[in-house]
Chain A
């Protein structure tokens, strides 16, 4: 590769790396600390709720103005399906990036559409889950479990929603032919954010849903 070609692909920076990529990694690093604080809060208050509903166990909870016995709220099969879909979306977005870098438009559009669809499925799953919990008498301030659970998974869900919007924007641009191989970094940055959202869920899923 000639010097001119190398510089055309990579602007000369003091690190020899694209500043946008350094910035997204620094942002992802800061997000690690943000989610660590939310996961810590969930864990330190785990098992300290005085009234139900609780994640797995039956308990006494206030429903329709009176104390009643209620079952555990978690529906692990549904969340497992959401987890699998989110994991596959990470696979789909790397294939879309591969297509973008190779100039394969069909591959780019197909896999990026699949990624967006997976993201929408996950957000829909979470909206259904939250609504279901609400109808079971679990509001945001019902107990320590509900407050920490909704804060942690709600912030994660909002990150997924932002990722879906970001990827949809790139899909729109790609469909209009505005994502040539030399601009594949635009998708790579969104993909890095998307993978981060995925790895956060990789931690949240066992810690929140599977550990009793």
Chain B
């Protein structure tokens, strides 16, 4: 029973409002950074040549960080049972493989005319 109780006490040791607020602030600034990267890559200027070629990787990384923050702290995957993380992360990995595979397939495969 001790193990049973331990599982549940871990399951409920959720973060405090202070931590939720800090995560919200980080999410807000990361979103602002995404839009800033988009604008810098779009508008003619000295920074366009620097940001333009790397804007897609920048956006993907920022998006991945935001995704992870929400999943870990707001969805409580960091504190909750590992089973929940498995139920979420495993399909997520399959989803990522599907997206990458289809992009590659459609980039290199052409319909015969």
Partner of A43, one of B42, B84, B103: B103
Question: Contacts of B94 on A, CB cut-off 8 Å?
Answer: 32-33, 36
B99 and A36 form a contact (CB under 8 A): yes
Chain A interface bracket (under 10, 10 to 19, 20 to 34, 35 or more): 35 or more
The reply to whether A212 and B63 contact each other, CB–CB distance below 8 Å, is: no
Contact check, A17 vs B70: say whether CB atoms are below 8 A apart: no
Q: How far is the CA of A16 from the CA of B84 in the complex (A)?
A: 12
In A1-58, which residues have CB < 8 Å from any B CB? 1, 3, 6, 9-10, 12, 15-17, 21-22, 25-26, 28-30, 32-33, 35-37, 39-41, 43-44, 56
Q: Residues of B within 8 Å of A, CB-based: how many?
A: 53
A29 and B91 in contact, given A40-B98, A84-B31 (Cβ under 8 angstroms): yes
Known: A40-B103, A43-B99, A44-B102. A206 touches B60 (CB 8 A): yes
Identify the closest chain B residue to A27 (Cβ).
Answer: B87
Which residues of B approach A to under 8 Å, CB–CB?
1, 4-5, 7-9, 11-12, 14, 16-17, 20-21, 23-24, 27-28, 31, 34-35, 37-38, 41-42, 55-56, 59-60, 62-63, 66-67, 70-71, 74-75, 81, 83-84, 87-88, 90-92, 94-96, 98-99, 102-103, 105-106
